[in-house]
Amino acid sequence: MAAAWCMPAAADERERAVAEVAQVYERIKIQQPLLQVHHQQLAQSLLSDALRALNVALSVMKQQRPSPAPATTPPVTSSVVVKAESPRSPSASADSEAIATPTERRPKKRRSSVMEGNNKTSSSSWVDFTTVPYEDGYEWRKYGEKKINGTSYTRSYFRCTYKDDAGCLATKHVQQKDSSSDPPVFQVTYNNKHTCNNGKLILPFMNIKLEPPVLPPNTLAVQAYSALHDPFDQTMPPSQQEPSSLPVSMQQPCGAATSSTTTSSCISGAESCCDEFPVLDMAQMAAAAEASPGYDLLYEELSLLCDSFKFY
DNA sequence: TAAATTTGACCCCT
DNA sequence: AGGGGTCAAATTTA
């Protein structure tokens, strides 16, 4: 069965993906200095190409990794997204509405996840291992908490803040892993994509809306993609997080996710492969950043991408 | 006072 | 029957 993953066609696909990534890497590498002098269109073009190349590469990598079981602890400095199984098999019709005889409590509606489970277009589920489960750029409202068998910590349930306003069916639950890693690792299981405008994650000034990707764990590409997909994921130092209990509020307007923070990647360090490029003085950088809020963040994200691509 | 969270009860699936 | 997910009244917070 596993041999099916070693087909010649897969090798071709891989070569194509590698070539694509390499091409984008070279382009970013060459043109990166220009990014520092406020070329938004160039940055947008580069990032767009990078995302496309990453998509190709990741899809190939996914095909070559039939069992992405997260047996090992994923990196804790960035979130890792893993495709999850469909939450439920389709069940009977959802026509039973408030048929229970009212006792002390009001009769309840049928479980929403069951209802949405029949809606194949909007139903999706994926898992995200992260140390910062509350900083994913969306607004959530907690609606439940439960002790789950075999776990040491309670599981918290969240739904989109705009469920009532926009009918957004996105939900997630956060489960702290039992591992004793210093920054606690949380497994965040998302159900249903955001259908509300407020739930869209928008990169600074780019207006690029990203859907949650399906990625294999523990790859450089994943880290790069995660950084691009959710650059705000690393905004809060672990020391400032709640150690084990879940914070009451995670309110952070999606579009208002601050761009004042940057990633903690190696891009600011001397070992970065992109450090060979000329560095503008602080005044120039400040001017560029001021002229375009979020530009400095984008520049760093592209630098991170550049760093990641070099391994391909 | 409105909005968000807490928490026990309830519903549905396995 | 038990477990996971959700509801909604009660409580807390801003």
Determine the distance between A186 (CA) and C6 (C1') in angstroms.
22
- Name, of A5-9, A39-43, A124-128, A303-307, the range with top average pLDDT: A124-128
Q: CB of residue A163 closer than 7 A to nucleic acid strand C?
A: no
A261 vs A59, more confident? A59
Confidence of residue A74 (pLDDT cuts 50, 70, 90): very low
Q: CB of residue A125 closer than 7 A to nucleic acid strand C?
A: no
The pLDDT value given to residue A208: 32
The pLDDT value given to residue A165: 79
Confidence of residue A1 (pLDDT cuts 50, 70, 90): very low
A89 vs A17, more confident? A17
Per-residue pLDDT at A171 exceeds 80: yes
Determine the distance between A256 (CA) and C2 (C1') in angstroms.
43
Determine the distance between A106 (CA) and B10 (C1') in angstroms.
10
A184 vs A158, more confident? A158
A9 vs A6, more confident? A9
Confidence of residue A167 (pLDDT cuts 50, 70, 90): confident
Classify residue A240 by burial, with Cβ atoms within 10 Å: 0-12, 13-18, 19+.
exposed
Q: CB of residue A149 closer than 7 A to nucleic acid strand C?
A: yes
Q: CB of residue A108 closer than 7 A to nucleic acid strand C?
A: yes
Percent residues over pLDDT 70 in chain A: 22
Determine the distance between A160 (CA) and B10 (C1') in angstroms.
22
Q: How confident is the prediction for chain A on average, in pLDDT? A: 53
Q: CB of residue A5 closer than 7 A to nucleic acid strand C?
A: no
Per-residue pLDDT at A308 exceeds 60: no
